[in-house]
Amino acid sequence: MSTLLNIGRTGLNAAQAQLSTTSHNITNATTPGYHRQTVRQSMEDPLLKGTVFFGQGTKVAAIERSYSQFLENQVMLSDNRRAEFAAYNAQISQIDNVLADPTSGLSPAMAQFFAALQDVSANPTNTASRQALLSSGESLVARFNALDDRLSEVRSGVEADLRATVEQINSYAREVADLNQRIVIAQSAGAGVPANDLLDQRQQAIFELNQLIKVNSVNQDDGSVAVFIGSGQALVLGNDPAQFDTTVSQDEAGRQAITLLGRDGSEVIVSETLLTGGSLGGLLAFRREALDTTQRSLGLIATTLATAFNTQHKLGTDLDGMLGQNFFNLGPVGVQPPDAATITIDPDKLGELTGNDYALRNSGGTYTLTNLTTGASQVVTTTAPGNTFEGLKIDSLSLADGETARIQPTRYAAGELSMAISQTSRVAAANPVAITVPSSNAGSLSVGNVLVKNVTGMDTSPALPAGPDGVPDFSTISVSWAANTLTVPAGYTLTSGTPPAADNAYNPPTDGPGKTFTLTAPGGFSFEFTLSGVPAGGDGFSFGPNVGGVADNRNAVLLGSLQTARLMFNNAAGEATTTMGNAYAQIVTSVGNKTREVQASEKAQDALLAQAKNARDSLSAVNLDEEAANLVRFQQAYQASARVMTVAQTLFDELLSIAR
């Protein structure tokens, strides 16, 4: 009877274990990270009686979780990429909406500014047109500032998200380390006693961690798991988690760099190449690939506009007859640390500007400037010929041996742009050089297209305490023609051709349709002019200050031509290929294409993640219908085992009654 009773008892225990496990599955069906558990039963060792083995019932061998490392890895890989694209998309969509907006973008403000300039060109003495130009200039500056401010707001949000993400990574790393310790203790009874619920909790913590940064986990012999990031940087070893922090980068104020905290409290900056995948990788990639590039490119347009416009504006004269001043104020080239060098924009090499950041390094007294995007570099000095590189002019150098400075030529330009003039009379619409052709000329000589190249020395007034008065008052320059030769005053030179060479020849049969010369004065100023027609011997002409030329619009026309002038991105031949408007369109297109690319990638990863989850859930997820059926089945098994014990008890009572 005892054998029958024991068999019933083992069945009762097994059924109870099955019922408990099934109930556990049902109640955790919606618990994140839970894997379905099943009871694995085995037979008790049989009992030999004579020549026959009699069974002794059943026993619970283990509680197993339905788990596949391969399927889990597929889910984690897809989810990691999805989280990366989601973080990238959330940020880049903001700047895409701002840049492409037809009302708040840069294009309308630039069009309005140059339209106002055309009005000044049409009526250079009209005060209302000049005021409209200044107002449009203020609006254009405000638009540059607003776009840069918006990008800076996005940057501030990214930096805050980076700090929060690092804190979450640290939290999950500590949780995994703590669960490692608990699992090692719980499973110390042997390898066949898995701590299923703790294992699920740890797997879920790793899953959540993997959404923040790409991780690789390796199971250890003691039941713990080692977690690595990047190319093998340990994040969790046993119960020892690494801790990360953020610090302000030396490259740029407010820019967060990720650091690893050492046991001695030291901080080591972790390369961004090691911090890939997940939300952190997406934020870093967005900041590096889209935000930095967009802000520098916008600054490049602001730099080009301000430099080119100021250069041309200073070649004209205003309503008071004074040489033009800067129309825009442009901030200095960013140098970190500030005293490492003095670097300015070379206005003659605007097309060489790239909009990239640079590293300036002193190695044994040799300074090398390196483009951080292309890797191109050049040894630079403060003397020719090594004082310029990609549109940057090196004015001073001051770095200790072995030190490196970061140069950001356009990073802050859009945000620091401002108007330099506020008076309508200061708009330099006129050309400072007037042409006089005597009526006594016998031939058909014609002079035109005066393009001022340099105004140095045009103002010959004595230096006052506040400097020269700024009025071009150079002496009249008389030019005469005879025997196919132009004669200019002593000290003046004529050049023509490309490259320019000394040339005083003018041969009417060949040059009559028009020949362009450059006249350079001893004081330094120079200008181009075009000579055409057939002069007679002794014919001449002269150049002098444009006194009272308030109705002159020649410089305003040249300023307006900057709208369609190719000023940016030199080709291999050194020729500029892109207008400012096209450059902005390229920014909008680049950001828009990247936004569509990231959105498409996120959708693709969503689909891959759904497939991976379906494959995993088919193995490990809880099916409530199946568990409900199991509940009935194990209830019946429990009742049947209880019935066996009842029969055993009845038989035992019968035996006792016989004895009485």
Please write the tens of the pLDDT for every residue from 10-44.
888 888 988 898 899 899 999 999 999 999 888 88
pLDDT tens string 527-563: 999 999 999 988 999 999 998 888 899 999 999 999 9
Are 283 and 91 a contacting pair, CB within 8 Å? yes
Q: Which residue has the tokens 């380390």?
A: 177
State residue 3's pLDDT score. Answer: 72
Are 95 and 151 a contacting pair, CB within 8 Å? yes
pLDDT band at 504 (very low <50, low <70, confident <90, very high): very high
CA distances from 245 to 166, 241, 251, 266 (A): 6, 13, 17, 11
pLDDT tens string 319-360: 999 999 999 999 999 998 888 999 999 999 999 999 999 999
State residue 271's pLDDT score. Answer: 86
> Residue 398 belongs to what H/E stretch?
none
Q: Concatenated DSSP letters for 32-77?
A: TT---EEEEEEEPPPEEETTEEE---EEEEEEEE---HHHHHHHHH
Residues in a beta bridge with 60: 41
Nearest to 606 by CA among 33, 72, 31, 84: 84
Q: Which of 545, 567, 597 is the last residue of a domain?
A: 545
Q: Does pLDDT of 193 surpass 80?
A: no
CA angle 278, 281, 286 (to 5 degrees): 125
Q: What is the mean pLDDT of residues 570-578?
A: 93
Whether 636 and 536 share a structural domain:
no
pLDDT band at 247 (very low <50, low <70, confident <90, very high): confident
- Rounded CA separation 554/309 (Å): 14
Give the residue numbers spanning the domain of 603.
Answer: 72-289+581-612
- Rounded CA separation 19/39 (Å): 10
Are 235 and 241 a contacting pair, CB within 8 Å? yes
> Residue 569 belongs to what H/E stretch?
strand 568-570
Is 562 within the bounds of a domain?
Answer: no
Q: What is the mean pLDDT of residues 512-519?
A: 94
Whether 239 and 97 share a structural domain:
yes
- Rounded CA separation 294/300 (Å): 10
Whether 261 and 244 share a structural domain:
yes
Is 428 within the bounds of a domain?
Answer: no
Is 339 within the bounds of a domain?
Answer: yes
Element counts in the chain: helices (H) and strands (E): 12, 32
Is 198 within the bounds of a domain?
Answer: yes
Nearest to 115 by CA among 100, 144, 101, 135: 135
State residue 658's pLDDT score. Answer: 76
Q: Which of 5-9, 121-125, 187-191 has the lowest mean pLDDT?
A: 187-191
Whether 79 and 61 share a structural domain:
no
Whether 222 and 280 share a structural domain:
yes
pLDDT band at 189 (very low <50, low <70, confident <90, very high): low
Is 170 within the bounds of a domain?
Answer: yes
Under DSSP, the state recorded for 289 is: I
Nearest to 493 by CA among 518, 516, 512: 518
Residues in a beta bridge with 534: none
Whether 200 and 97 share a structural domain:
yes
State residue 266's pLDDT score. Answer: 77
Whether 121 and 256 share a structural domain:
yes
Is 561 within the bounds of a domain?
Answer: no
Domains of the chain: total: 4
Whether 115 and 204 share a structural domain:
yes
Are 200 and 164 a contacting pair, CB within 8 Å? no
State residue 118's pLDDT score. Answer: 96
pLDDT band at 437 (very low <50, low <70, confident <90, very high): very high
pLDDT band at 627 (very low <50, low <70, confident <90, very high): confident
Report the sign of the C-alpha dihedral through residues 194, 196, 201, 202, in that order.
Answer: positive
Whether 146 and 45 share a structural domain:
no
Is 62 within the bounds of a domain?
Answer: yes
Whether 402 and 270 share a structural domain:
no
Q: Which of 545, 565, 600 is the last residue of a domain?
A: 545
pLDDT band at 6 (very low <50, low <70, confident <90, very high): confident
Q: Does pLDDT of 465 surpass 70?
A: no
Whether 506 and 523 share a structural domain:
yes
Is 342 within the bounds of a domain?
Answer: yes
State residue 206's pLDDT score. Answer: 94
pLDDT band at 187 (very low <50, low <70, confident <90, very high): confident
Whether 243 and 279 share a structural domain:
yes
**Tokens linked to 572:** 């291999």
- Rounded CA separation 187/105 (Å): 62
Residues 6 or more apart from 655 whose CB is under 8 A from it?
1
